[in-house]
Chains A and B, each alone.
Chain A
Amino acid sequence: MADNPIEQFGIHPIAEFSVAGYDASFTNASLAMVGGAVLAAWFFNWAMKPAAMVPNRAQVVAEGAYGFIHGMLKDAAGTEGVKKFLPFVFTLFLFIFMANMLGMFPGVFGVHHIFTPTSQIVVTAALAMMVFLTVIVVGFAKNGLKFFKLFAPSGVPWYLLLIVTPIEIISFFSRPLSHAVRLWANILAGHILLKVFAGFVPALIAAGGFYGLLSVLPLAMTVMLYGLEFLVAFLQAYVFAILTCIYLNDALHPGH
């Protein structure tokens, strides 16, 4: 029984090897990420295999998820955004959603807890940087130098631009940071909270007597928090995806 609420975030190598002197071991974090990606890919292939006119339950789920992201991207970035970015945003959403959801399952096969990759800021930062670089590359490829209009809003007199432009630049560069930190902090805080409350239960039982009866309270709290965490797992994937849509819209239509 791991009493330390931080222990669940420990990274343990499963297969150790290194590439060009760098440690590139396959760890429990890698396993959780590969598992999430494979599970999502398998589910969609399996659910859409019949491709029936009257869908069965799995197909409704798959089509619903697709329609959900499609509508979200269309609202934020228009038809052009859907044409260019739907695979990217849909993949991001599914990957984060599956990673969050897999992390909600407690231990199997002797593992204490399935690792939650999104509780490591490296993972969320990599995802956020991917979005950020996509915005920059697509923005310059599509608009050329007009992409700089993003930093100089129209209708601002030139003397205010001296202040507004640096502020806009900082605001632009702060996006990947807040984008990454939001997902990471939510998942990390939620998992620590769960573990802390769950840890009260054996501690109170060990105290014995009247305290043992009190252990029902943190147990009930853990159950409630678990429900809340499932909501957070979905909500954070949704928030990450919708912010991606908003940022990608800037790449297509800068300067407003």
Chain B
Amino acid sequence: MADEKPPEDALSDLRRRVNAARGEGAPDTPPPQSPASLAMRYGGEFGAAIIVGALLGYGVDHFVHTSPWGLIAGVALGFGAGVVNVVRVAQSYSRSNPIDPNAPSVPDDEED
């Protein structure tokens, strides 16, 4: 056989056309998050960690009879965990929304 190329059937033609049409549209990007939902997310992550930390500390107190030190330590660690949570959310947010390098710089209006 001289011609080794697969036959140009309707299927591959359709695939090419579908791919071409897809390429014109926007790629599959996640929908933009509204600032309010982002704020809710930060608040939720922070608050949830404190509540869970306090509950875990309270549970330790209940079983080991170290009241109130477990609760105090739990709340303190909960605050730490909340900050860690918020930093993680912020990191993933800035990873998915990189800063535009061509964005105009904001002038520093601080008096100094």
Residues in A lying within 8 Å of B, measured CB to CB: 53-54, 67-68, 71-72, 163, 166-171, 173-175, 177-178, 181-182, 185-186, 232, 234-236, 238-239, 242, 246
Q: In the assembly, what is the distance between CA of A174 and CA of B11, in Å? A: 50
A166, A173, A174, A182 — which one has the most chain B CB atoms within 10 A of its CB?
A: A174
Q: Does B7 contact A (CB under 8 A)?
A: no
Max chain A C-beta neighbours (<10 A), residue from B31, B33, B77: B77
Q: Which residues in B have some Cβ–Cβ distance to A below 8 Å? A: 11, 14, 28, 30-31, 33-34, 37, 40-41, 44-45, 47-49, 51-53, 56, 74, 77-78, 80-82, 84-85, 92
A54–B34 CA distance with the chains assembled, in angstroms: 36
Q: Which of A71, A167, A175, A246 contacts B80 (CB 8 A)?
A: A167
Total A-B Cβ pairs within 8 A: 76
Is A170 in contact with B78, judged by CB distance below 8 angstroms? yes
Smallest Cβ-Cβ distance to B55: which chain A residue: A173
Contact A163/B80 with A67-B28, A174-B49, A177-B52 known, Cβ cut-off 8 Å: yes
B30: chain A residues within 8 A (beta carbon) = 72, 238, 242
Contact A174 B41 (CB under 8 A): no
The distance from the CB of B95 to the nearest CB of chain A, in whole angstroms, is 11
Distance of A168 Cα from B82 Cα, bound (Å): 10
Q: What residues on B are CB-neighbors of A186 within 8 Å?
A: 37, 40
Chain B neighbourhood of A242, CB < 8 A: 30
**What would 17 A/B residue contacts be, using CB atoms closer than 8 Å?**
A166-B77, A167-B84, A168-B81, A170-B53, A170-B74, A170-B77, A173-B56, A174-B48, A174-B53, A174-B81, A174-B82, A182-B41, A186-B40, A238-B30, A238-B31, A239-B37, A246-B92
Across the A-B interface, the 4 shortest Cβ-Cβ residue pairs: A178-B48, A170-B81, A177-B48, A174-B49
Residues of B near A236 (CB, < 8 A) are: 37
**Whole-angstrom distance between the alpha carbons of A242 and B41 in the complex?**
13
Judge whether A68 and B37 touch: CB under 8 Å: no
A171 with B44: CB separation less than 8 A = no
Asked whether B85 lies within 8 Å of A174 as measured between CB atoms, the reply is yes
CA distance A174 to B81 in the complex (A): 9
Which residues of B are found within 8 Å of A232, using beta-carbon distances?
37
Starting from the known contacts A163-B80, A174-B78, A181-B44, 6 additional A-B residue pairs (CB-CB under 8 Å) come to A53-B11, A171-B85, A174-B49, A174-B51, A177-B51, A239-B33
A170 touches B49 (CB 8 A): yes
User: Known: A167-B80, A167-B81, A170-B53. Contact between A185 and B44, CB under 8 A?
Assistant: yes
When the two chains form the complex, which single residue of A54, A68, A234, A246 contacts B28, counting CB atoms closer than 8 Å?
A68
User: Could you say which residues of chain B place their CB within 8 Å of the CB of A163?
Assistant: 77, 80
Give A206 to B98 CA distance when docked, in angstroms.
52
